[in-house]
Each structure stands twice: as structure tokens, then as C-alpha cells.
């Protein structure tokens, strides 16, 4: 399954490279725009591969008592930040590449910042689980989590942007990145909605037992916070 996903990504990327070459050599917008919707498939398939903070997204939504709308907001914030960071780094690559990127497709500094901030969210959720009464997490917190988790730039977007810029057509790379962001958002939103759906089903099973539901909610919130802290510490201190 994973190999099939990798093969689809490779085929779309190679086709995109050919369209970029044609466009850069004066081929015009028509052929390029006709291919552009494939960026949605590219982004959706790419987001299925390991990474993209899917586990962090599902873990947070499990413990945050978020509804469908808030789950979508978190996933969209994550998708937008993930792709946008790659575009920004590519556009300002000369001053940033030596600072942000340790090697092609990775961003150690941004990874540490992202995991560190998520660790702080996890620590806050742990404190909340033990010392605060039950409450609904605010939408602003969800957006913040999406932003923090998305700080790690999308490596394939970075490659696409770099290739387009090397051909002198950064606008083509930006357009493809924006369309690709839609595909990434589709996959991550599916993860978010599925997580919220199954969590709410379990909550409905327990809704007649309020004391048990409160204890379970607190336990899940504490587990979520602890998981985020462990992920942050492992990613930062264990290379």
C-alpha cells in the first residue's frame, strides 16, 4: 500500500516537472492549468504517507472534546501552515536555508520549535486534567495546535518550489503548492472528522453515567497531554 502511494507521488511529480519545463520554455498557461488539479491528488496522497502530524492531530482531538467544526479548523490550520512554511522557506531560501534546513527536505530548527510548543500544550493539558474542572477547549487553542504541528515544512512542497524557482517560474510552484494544500487538507480533515466521530460515539455510550464520563474525559485529557509531552521530548532529545 505504501509503495503504491509512493509510486503515485513519483508519477505526479515527474509529470509536474515536465509541465514546469514546458511552461518555463514558453508553453503558456493552458497546458499547465489543465494539469494543476492533479495537485489535489498529489497533496491528498502525499498526506497519507508517514508524518504530517496525523498522530498528533488525532491524539489532540481525542482529548480536547472538540466537535466536528473545531476538528476541521484544527486540520485546516495544520494543512495551511505545513504547506505555507515550505513556500516561505523556498521563496526566502538564501537567508533561511542554512539556518532552517540541515539537509534536503528536513528542517531541524523548525521541528524542534514545533515539538517544543506541542510539548507545552501537552503540559497544559496535563495540568488541566488534574487541577481544573471539566471544560471545553477553546477554538483558539485548536488553531494554535494546528499551527504548531504544521511548523514543520512539507518536504515535497519544498522540492516543487525549488524546482519551479530553478526554472525561473516561482509563480507556477506557488500555484501548485496552493492546490496541493487542498489535497493535504482533505486527508487531514478526514483524519480529524473520523477521530471526532469515534470519540463522540464513545461519549454517547457513557452519557447516562455522568460521573464515569467525567472520569474518562479527564483520563483521556491527561493521557493526551502526556503523549504530546513524550512526543515532544523524544523528537527533540532523541535523534
CB 224 within 8 A of CB 64: yes
Structural domain boundaries, residue 196: 2-237
- The pTM of this model reads 0.76
Given a cut of 90, whether residue 106 has pLDDT beyond it is no
Neighbours of 136 (CB within 10 A): 10
Given a cut of 80, whether residue 205 has pLDDT beyond it is no
In the chain, the number of structural domains is 1
Per-residue model confidence (pLDDT) at position 102 = 46
Per-residue model confidence (pLDDT) at position 190 = 96
Per-residue model confidence (pLDDT) at position 175 = 92
Per-residue model confidence (pLDDT) at position 27 = 78
Given a cut of 90, whether residue 187 has pLDDT beyond it is yes
Query: What percentage of the chain exceeds 90 in pLDDT?
Result: 16
Phi, psi of 67 (to 5 degrees): -85, -175
Give residue-wise pLDDT tens across range 85-96: 889 888 876 445
User: Measured between alpha carbons, how far apart are the two ends of the chain, in Å?
Assistant: 27
Neighbours of 148 (CB within 10 A): 25
Give residue-wise pLDDT tens across range 51-100: 667 878 888 888 777 789 989 999 999 999 999 988 988 887 644 544 44
Amino acid at each position: 500500500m505504501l509503495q503504491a502511494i509512493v509510486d503515485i507521488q513519483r508519477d505526479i511529480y515527474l509529470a509536474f516537472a515536465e509541465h514546469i519545463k514546458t511552461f518555463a520554455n514558453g508553453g503558456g498557461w493552458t497546458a499547465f492549468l489543465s494539469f494543476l488539479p492533479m495537485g489535489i491528488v498529489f497533496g491528498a496522497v502525499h498526506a497519507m504517507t508517514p508524518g504530517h502530524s496525523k498522530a498528533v492531530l488525532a491524539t489532540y482531538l481525542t482529548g480536547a472534546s472538540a466537535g466536528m467544526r473545531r476538528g476541521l479548523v484544527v486540520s485546516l490550520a495544520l494543512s495551511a501552515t505545513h504547506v505555507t512554511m515550505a513556500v516561505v522557506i523556498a521563496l526566502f531560501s538564501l537567508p533561511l536555508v542554512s539556518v532552517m534546513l540541515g539537509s534536503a527536505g528536513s528542517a531541524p530548527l523548525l521541528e524542534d520549535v514545533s515539538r517544543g510548543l506541542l510539548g507545552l500544550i501537552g503540559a497544559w493539558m496535563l495540568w488541566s486534567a488534574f487541577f481544573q474542572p471539566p471544560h471545553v477547549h477553546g477554538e483558539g487553542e485548536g488553531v494554535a495546535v494546528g499551527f504548531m504541528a504544521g511548523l514543520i515544512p512539507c518536504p515535497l512542497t519544498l522540492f516543487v518550489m525549488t524546482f519551479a524557482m530553478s526554472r525561473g517560474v516561482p509563480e507556477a510552484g506557488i500555484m501548485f503548492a496552493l492546490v496541493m494544500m487542498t489535497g493535504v487538507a482533505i486527508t487531514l480533515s478526514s483524519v480529524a472528522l473520523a477521530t471526532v466521530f469515534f470519540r463522540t460515539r464513545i461519549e454517547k455510550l457513557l452519557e447516562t453515567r455522568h460521573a464515569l464520563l467525567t472520569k474518562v474525559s479527564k483520563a483521556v485529557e491527561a493521557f493526551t497531554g502526556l503523549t504530546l509531552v513524550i512526543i515532544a521530548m523524544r523528537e527533540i532529545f532523541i535523534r
